[in-house]
Structure 1
Amino acid sequence: MEYRTGVGLAVAATMLWSCQGLIFRQIAVADPWAILFWRSAGMVPVVAAFVIWTGGARRLHAIGAAGVVGALGLILAFGGAVYAIQSTSIANAVFLFSASPFITALLGWAVLGERVRGRTWASIGVAAVGIAVMVQGGLDRGALAGNLAALISASGFAVFTVTLRRAGLADPMPIVLLGGIFSLIAGAVMAGAAGASLIVPVADLGWSLFMGAVTLAGGMVLYTLGSRVVPAAELTLISLLEVMLAPLLVWLVMGEGASRATMIGGVFVLAAVLMNATGRSRAAPIPA
């Protein structure tokens, strides 16, 4: 695969992911656990087909305990994201999601003993300021639960990323498949515990399945293929398209804005991601 093709696939993936906030706003009745269940139900067959197509089924037995922990982390990532988007603005949620690389760096340092560069420590500090501003804004607007859920989601992705390194697995999709199955089960269990029903209106069911099969799983497949030829630092920069497009889409289509605290905090977080990613890209050669 050529480098340009990889970039195109990664960009297409982020554009698909950026549509999820808009799709969430089309769901009228289903609660977060029903959405998690049906979105996972849409995601699992697509990811399973990709794993089989790429020969990943033969590697499922090699996931090990670390891979299972990573899959459990995806329950937090997927469930937290659903709850956050249902409880706060799209802008607030996606800005907080983008803090995941910094949580990953801290977790990798604590668990794996990975060295954290000075630039990354500085970026973490800048991101922490932005997160504090957004969480404080959530206290004022009654969206604290949504903010915390978004941070839990980011932490879940961090656990997933660190366990990939711990297990030495280059292909994340078998663990994503397991995480999707776990999330399917978790959605059903939590709905039952909350006394909620998984039976939802046909429109909500269709949007949830579409989101899982197309925007979430489809984006993961494209991003995984693109990551084979695009350096990690550039992928981080490309993924920022989602952070910018998701709030823009819901503003253009639904008229959903963002609070002053969200915008100020989001600027800090985006600046931190850019500072960290551009530092890594200068340190590594970029393919022609």
Structure 2
Amino acid sequence: MARAQPFPALSTQPAREERIGLLLVFLSALAWSFGGAIGRFVENADPWTTVFWRSAWAAAFLVGFMLWRDGARGMAALFRSMGIPGLAVACCFAIASTSFVVALSYTTVANILLMQAGVPLIAALLAFLLFGERVSRSTWAAIAAVIIGVAVMVSDSLDGNVSPIGDGLAVLIAVVFSVATVITRRYAHVRMTPATCLGTVIAAAFAFTQAGSLAVSGSDMGFLFAFGALNLGLGLALFATGARLIPAAYAALLGTFETLLGPVWVWLIHGELPSSRTILGGSVVFAALLVHIGIEFHRQSRPAKPGVTGMPSPN
């Protein structure tokens, strides 16, 4: 009887790690969801100044996080091992994080976030076009729904109701995030944290060349610290730690909380309401994503056929 005692502890360890992973990924989505609301508090008129300070604070946080987690030698090894794929992911993140800040000057937070909800499906389309990866019929249907939903949202800019710059940047964010997703899947050794940290450095360096002045008020600096270190940096650190402990479908499902909560915070705090077309088109995109994730849950939960050994998840 005494020898039987260790077995329950061993069997509950994976479940405990999964619960921790679920909590960390949810907290990352929660942290990211406040990005638009925090950005609206920044009074500085030059978006390039905002990009610089947000990126600088995020880079400082991520460097500190990696030093704490991996040590100086471990962090240096992570950066050296990224290679060209890591540099490509870093450039994608630099473009996306910069475009997000600039887009806030031209369109609503809901418009940006709801377009980003289609990233997993756009990534599936890119993987098919670039690498010939198989796409199921249900995923094709979801991709078509995302295209229709984005078209409805973008139609606001065609008749002058919304700036085409804002919609264009929102689409660009979704596309470059999709490219980064495809690269990360293709090159599984690319670590998200150092690549994204390098992306913040690239964004800060480019913004430095574009900003008229880096001077900001004390209150703006406080919001920029929260915008960079807490919203961007902490959210990434939580996600990078938690996503390893749970299946990809769970991470994708919890990630939808950013899309769901982001427009709510901006509405409650700043009274910003999206247009009817944004709500309609965004609902189509969001519904397509949820249906797609639901199908993935069903597919992954089906028992393996007798005599067939299932492959472990790469995530």
Q: TM > 0.5 between the two?
A: yes
From 220, 230, 236, the equivalent of 1:214 is: 230
Q: What is the CA-CA distance between 1:117 and the residue it aligns to?
A: 2.0
- Counterparts of 1:254-265 in structure 2, within 5 Å, are 254-265=270-281
Q: What is the CA-CA distance between 1:231 and the residue it aligns to?
A: 1.1
Does residue 171 of the first structure (1) align with residue 171 of the second (2)? Answer: no
Q: 1:81 to 1:220 in 2, by over 3 A?
A: same
From 269, 282, 293, the equivalent of 1:266 is: 282
Q: Secondary structure at the match of 1:87?
A: coil
Q: What is the CA-CA distance between 1:56 and the residue it aligns to?
A: 4.1
CA distance in 2, matches of 1:285, 1:51: 34
Alignment deviations for residues 116-162 of structure 1 (CA, whole Å, 9 cap, x no partner): 22221111100111100000013331322111101111112122222
Does residue 57 of the first structure (1) align with residue 72 of the second (2)? Answer: no
Paired residue for 2:308?
none
Paired residue for 1:236?
252
From 289, 294, 300, the equivalent of 1:284 is: 300
Q: What is the CA-CA distance between 1:179 and the residue it aligns to?
A: 0.8
CA distance in 2, matches of 1:117, 1:169: 26
- TM-align CA RMSD: 1.8
Alignment deviations for residues 48-107 of structure 1 (CA, whole Å, 9 cap, x no partner): 122232334312211111211111111211111112222111111110121221221122
CA distance in 2, matches of 1:14, 1:151: 20
Paired residue for 1:125?
144
Q: Contact (CA 8 Å) 2:82, 2:191: kept in 1 or not?
A: no
Q: Secondary structure at the match of 1:223?
A: helix
CA distance in 2, matches of 1:237, 1:5: 16
Q: What is the CA-CA distance between 1:216 and the residue it aligns to?
A: 0.8
CA distance in 1, matches of 2:224, 2:126: 32
Does residue 225 of the first structure (1) align with residue 241 of the second (2)? Answer: yes
From 66, 74, 78, the equivalent of 2:93 is: 74
Alignment deviations for residues 151-196 of structure 1 (CA, whole Å, 9 cap, x no partner): 11111212222222333325311111111111111211233xxxx2
Does residue 86 of the first structure (1) align with residue 101 of the second (2)? Answer: no
Paired residue for 2:6?
none
CA distance in 1, matches of 2:215, 2:182: 36
Q: 1:109 to 1:189 in 2, by over 3 A?
A: farther
CA distance in 1, matches of 2:75, 2:184: 15
Q: Secondary structure at the match of 1:168?
A: coil
5+ unaligned residues in a row in structure 1: which ranges? none
CA distance in 1, matches of 2:158, 2:220: 30
Query: If the length of structure 1 is used for normalisation, what is the TM-score?
Result: 0.93
Q: Secondary structure at the match of 1:119?
A: helix
Number of residue pairs aligned between Structure 1 and Structure 2: 283
Does residue 4 of the first structure (1) align with residue 19 of the second (2)? Answer: yes
CA distance in 1, matches of 2:139, 2:130: 17
Query: If the length of structure 2 is used for normalisation, what is the TM-score?
Result: 0.85
